[in-house]
Amino acid sequence: MKNQKTKVGIIGATGYAGIELVRLLLAHPNVEINAVSSVSFKGRAISDIYPALHSIYDVKLGDEDSVIEQSDVVFAALPHGLSEPIAKKCVRLNKLFIDLGADFRLDSQDTYKEWYEKNFDEPELHKQSIYSIPELHRDRIKDAKIIANPGCYTTCIPLGLAPLIKSGRAKLDTIIIDAKSGTSGAGRGLTQTTHFPELNEGFCAYKVASHRHIPEIEQTISQIAGEEVKVTFVPHLIPINRGILATMYINTDCKDENELYDMYCEFYKNDRFIRIMPLGQTVNVKNSKLSNYCDISLHFDKRTGRAIIISAIDNMVKGASGQAIQNMNIALGFDEGAGLDAIPPSF
């Protein structure tokens, strides 16, 4: 029985995060995908919808219940507001549930209601769910039953800020975050903003200081700081498929980038997916594309005493499906990087 693979299933397999789970899990050494589901495409082969899978993975899409029934680990990659009933069934049947959506990410029901205009329907379930960016929270999830997988900005930004905040050397009321995302961050659905002629050759800010990831970012960094922290966050949309790059400005009593560099190398010394760039280099989204890496470059503006930290991830991998698999690996006792060792292409 030693070599038996763990059965996993994906609800919402036809979305961008779902299909990325399929791509990554098919190459995972310890699991097999037992079932996938869709509402719109139920009964059709998944490779009809995504021909990249043709002759590799041609299984038919089923429904949510069949995924839960046939899997030991259930991933859901759905719009927010749909995950609580699935989590409830999974807990009852003793299946590990990993949610890529926002439903279990916020601790406070009031904050969730303020940003998502919805109450927790199952408050008891929320007490069992564990939010995890593995590099910051891996000790929490060994016996988790529900894992709330963070969002894309909310992975890239706290990973960039955590060492400086933890050091106690940041002026916490000075954090400004300017971030750019590729368009897969908006999912598969077409909107006017993501329609090719409108997006191509365009570059704009959106949801200025009002994006739903703000409370999640603040929750994570407030926990690290041990006090409430507020940030100014301005996201931008750029005409590339994948990638998030966040530039973070923060006042500090550090004297130069060498101090930052030593601090960050020490903080992440055991984290194989965090790459601190040599001083003088700046990160580029293309260098973490299709991989689970988070790249961080460190800069210091001596005239203003401001650290400038730039982090980059692939929003679909470290910002979604790769990180969900990393969380599963930890929860099930697999090697943390199993299935996630793809090397990013250089161009």
Can you spell out the DSSP letters for 260-326?
HHHHHHHHTTT-TTEEEPPTT----GGGTTTSS-EEEEEEEETTTTEEEEEEEE-TTIIIIIHHHHH
Applying CB under 6 A, among 27, 39, 52, 204 the residue interacting with ligand NAP is 39
Q: Nearer to ligand NAP by C-beta: 41 or 120?
A: 41
The reply to whether 246 sits near ligand NAP by the rule CB under 6 A is no
The reply to whether 320 sits near ligand NAP by the rule CB under 6 A is yes
* Residue 227 burial (C-beta neighbours within 10 Å; 0-12, 13-18, 19+): exposed
The reply to whether 208 sits near ligand NAP by the rule CB under 6 A is no
The reply to whether 187 sits near ligand NAP by the rule CB under 6 A is yes
Q: What contacts 187, CB < 8 A, 6 or more positions away? A: 15, 16, 17, 79
The reply to whether 53 sits near ligand NAP by the rule CB under 6 A is no
Do 111 and 133 contact (CB within 8 A), yes or no? no
Q: Please list the residues that pair with 301 across neighbouring strands.
A: 306
Q: Nearer to ligand NAP by C-beta: 77 or 147?
A: 77
Segment contacting ligand NAP by CB under 6 A, of 86-94, 137-145, 218-226, 315-323: 315-323
Segment contacting ligand NAP by CB under 6 A, of 128-136, 180-188, 278-286, 330-338: 180-188
Nearest approach in angstroms of CB 61 to ligand NAP is 7
Q: Please list the residues that pair with 250 across neighbouring strands.
A: 307
Interface with ligand NAP: number of residues (CB under 6 A) = 29
The reply to whether 151 sits near ligand NAP by the rule CB under 6 A is yes
Beta-strand pair 176-181/232-237: parallel
Let me know how long the chain is.
347
The reply to whether 189 sits near ligand NAP by the rule CB under 6 A is yes
* N-term to C-term CA, the chain: 42
Nearest approach in angstroms of CB 237 to ligand NAP is 12
Beta strands in 55-95 (DSSP E): 73-76
3-state helix, strand, coil in the chain (%, to 5): 35, 20, 45
Element (H, E) at 90: helix 83-92
Applying CB under 6 A, among 6, 7, 26, 41 the residue interacting with ligand NAP is 41
The reply to whether 142 sits near ligand NAP by the rule CB under 6 A is no
- For residue 15 the two structure tokens come to 């979305």
Q: Determine the 3-state secondary structure of 177 from DSSP.
A: strand
Segment 63 to 82, residues that bind ligand NAP, using CB under 6 A: 77-80, 82
Applying CB under 6 A, among 9, 158, 185, 235 the residue interacting with ligand NAP is 185
Q: Nearer to ligand NAP by C-beta: 3 or 40?
A: 40
Do 191 and 252 contact (CB within 8 A), yes or no? no
Beta strands in 20-78 (DSSP E): 31-37, 73-76
The reply to whether 157 sits near ligand NAP by the rule CB under 6 A is no
Q: Nearer to ligand NAP by C-beta: 41 or 249?
A: 41
Q: Determine the 3-state secondary structure of 66 from DSSP.
A: helix
The reply to whether 17 sits near ligand NAP by the rule CB under 6 A is yes
Q: Nearer to ligand NAP by C-beta: 188 or 255?
A: 188
Segment contacting ligand NAP by CB under 6 A, of 7-15, 221-229, 230-238, 337-345: 7-15
The residues assigned a catalytic role are 152
Segment contacting ligand NAP by CB under 6 A, of 135-143, 227-235, 245-253, 311-319: 311-319
Which residues are near ligand NAP by CB under 6 A?
12, 14-18, 38-41, 77-80, 82, 100-102, 151-152, 184-185, 187-189, 315-316, 319-320
